[in-house]
């Protein structure tokens, strides 16, 4: 094999995962990034991949090397202008996968608002344990696998597909490139106001994905999501609805919510899932339904799920002295609500204190502002900081103005939850000393871009509750 590729914006989650998979498969891989950061920078360098910085024409490889461009690289970037003048072409990473790996495999695409990374990981693990050795792309770091992606020409591929634009000169959603034979939609949620002008526009993108399914494919949907249910009308293949209600085509039954696991019956099989919460039960059942369509028996799928190890930064917990710190990447109110339910199952009878740095996406009229107070009514105490600003496109403003943290705090207080606003670690240190009690569970929710804040919080907790314990 003498393939070579160069990734512009290589440290993105998807870009880095694919670059790593190619390097392990024998490709010569190089890349550039404006500001390479851990953990992806360290992961790629550990695989021997050279990362040039910044991205500039001098770092481009010679003719004959495939160029892959990440979605965050603007279309007027100097490197792309140079490629245009030189008459050289490039791919988005979804287009690259479609060209090289997904035209001859049976592809399962897992899409949706939240839960798709875990569901993709579950299905890939079921296939792995069934001996199918799938190619896969996971938008996180699965604990059951050593790497977030693998592309070695398997007959089966499991791909996490999202609705973001493919790259600057290709506004199509990524998942439209993936030649699906089976589609799992975990849910369909109001989101991405910077990309979609309302729920109808978002639904049309998912309808286009479902429209790609062949007659012998399968569409897997949740039973209680009205927006997702509407996708069934455009499917040319069978539709399986999964969930807890009497209207579900495939019903999850005989639930047992234990602190260390969730036990349930699905498709005639008892499943012992080492995860908590109804969302994870449904994720697992959806993965089982998809696997069954690909020839994996329910009993074998259940056996694989009993050993499923989850995904990094999803309900990661650490005992720090007399308190428990749990970190999770949940930012959407739907995901945070499911997380609270999971933690109540996992830590019964313990106080749940939430530190939240909300995303400001969508402004004051958006779902984050509207729904968070009702969701956060499920915690015992809320500590909230200034929002992480996700700005709209140039020349645009969010409807109703910017996200209002004070409004969020006031509305949550009216629902009976004590709320304190904390701006900076010094204020947070004081609040921890006043608010936290032995036995509390501290749920830390910050955007992935602010991971340094998570480490600062861990250090504060160690100093207050675990004198002599090493900092993280």
- In degrees, rounded to 5, the angle at the alpha carbon of residue 52 between the alpha carbons of residues 69 and 20 is 60
pLDDT of residue 67: 97
Average pLDDT over the chain, rounded to whole? 94
pLDDT in tens, 330-389: 999 999 999 999 999 999 999 999 999 998 888 899 999 999 999 999 999 999 999 987
Q: Of 429, 168, 133, 410, nearest to 294 (Cα)?
A: 133
Handedness of CA 410, 411, 417, 420 (dihedral sign): negative
pLDDT in tens, 126-174: 999 999 999 999 999 999 999 999 999 999 999 999 999 999 889 999 9
How many beta carbons lie within 10 A of that of residue 362, not counting itself?
A: 23
Three-state DSSP state, 165: strand
Alpha carbon distance 368, 174 (integer Å):
24
pLDDT of residue 399: 83
The 3-state secondary structure of 282-304 reads HHHHHHHHHHHHCCCCHHHHHHH
Taking each helix axis as running N to C, give the angle between helix 93-100 and helix 13-24, from 0 to 180 degrees, rounded to the nearest 10: 30
Alpha carbon distance 83, 77 (integer Å):
10
pLDDT in tens, 295-317: 999 999 999 999 999 999 899 99
* Side-chain half-sphere exposure of 111, counting CA atoms within 13 A: 31
pTM of the full structure = 0.95
Phi and psi for 10 in degrees, rounded to 5?
-70, -20
pLDDT in tens, 385-438: 999 877 777 777 888 888 999 999 999 999 999 999 998 889 999 999 999 999
Alpha carbon distance 317, 100 (integer Å):
39
């Amino acid at each position: 094999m003498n393939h070579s590729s160069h990734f512009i914006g290589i440290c993105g989650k998807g870009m880095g995962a694919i670059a790593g998979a190619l390097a392990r498969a024998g490709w010569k891989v190089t890349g550039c990034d404006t500001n390479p950061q851990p953990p992806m920078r360290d992961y790629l360098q550990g695989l021997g991949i050279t990362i040039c910085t910044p991205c500039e024409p001098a770092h481009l490889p010679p003719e004959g090397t495939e160029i892959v461009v990440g979605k965050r690289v603007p279309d007027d970037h100097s490197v792309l202008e140079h490629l245009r003048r030189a008459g050289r072409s490039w791919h988005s990473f979804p287009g690259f996968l479609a060209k090289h790996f997904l035209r001859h495999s049976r592809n399962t695409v897992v899409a949706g608002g939240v839960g798709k990374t875990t569901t993709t990981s579950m299905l890939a693990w079921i296939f792995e344990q069934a001996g199918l050795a799938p190619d896969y792309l996971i938008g996180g770091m699965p604990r059951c696998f050593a790497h977030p992606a693998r592309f070695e020409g398997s007959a089966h591929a499991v791909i996490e597909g999202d609705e973001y634009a493919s790259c600057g000169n290709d506004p199509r959603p990524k998942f439209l490139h993936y030649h699906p034979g089976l589609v799992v939609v975990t849910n369909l949620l109001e989101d991405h106001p910077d990309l979609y002008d309302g729920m109808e526009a978002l639904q049309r993108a998912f309808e286009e994905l479902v429209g790609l399914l062949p007659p012998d494919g399968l569409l897997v949907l949740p039973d209680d999501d009205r927006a997702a249910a509407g996708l069934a009308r455009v499917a040319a293949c069978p539709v399986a609805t999964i969930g807890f209600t009497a209207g579900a085509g495939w019903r999850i039954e005989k639930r047992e919510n234990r602190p260390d696991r969730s036990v349930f019956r699905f498709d005639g099989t008892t499943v012992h899932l080492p995860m908590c919460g109804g969302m994870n039960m449904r994720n697992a059942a959806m993965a089982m339904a998809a696997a069954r369509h690909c020839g994996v028996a329910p009993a074998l799928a259940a056996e694989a799920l009993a050993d499923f190890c989850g995904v990094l930064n999803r309900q990661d917990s650490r005992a720090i002295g007399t308190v428990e710190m749990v970190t999770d990447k949940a930012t959407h109110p739907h995901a945070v609500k499911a997380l609270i339910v999971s933690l109540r199952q996992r830590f019964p009878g313990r106080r749940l204190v939430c530190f939240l740095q909300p995303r400001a996406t969508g402004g004051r009229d958006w779902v984050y502002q509207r729904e968070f107070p009702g969701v956060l009514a499920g915690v015992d105490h809320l500590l909230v900081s200034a929002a992480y600003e996700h700005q709209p496109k140039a020349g645009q403003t969010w409807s109703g103005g910017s996200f209002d943290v004070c409004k969020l705090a006031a509305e949550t207080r009216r629902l009976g939850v004590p709320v304190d606003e904390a701006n900076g670690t010094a204020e947070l240190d004081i609040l921890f000393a006043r608010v936290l009690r032995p036995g509390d569970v501290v749920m830390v929710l910050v955007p992935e871009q602010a991971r340094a804040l998570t480490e600062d919080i861990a250090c504060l907790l160690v100093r207050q509750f675990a004198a002599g314990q090493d900092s993280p």
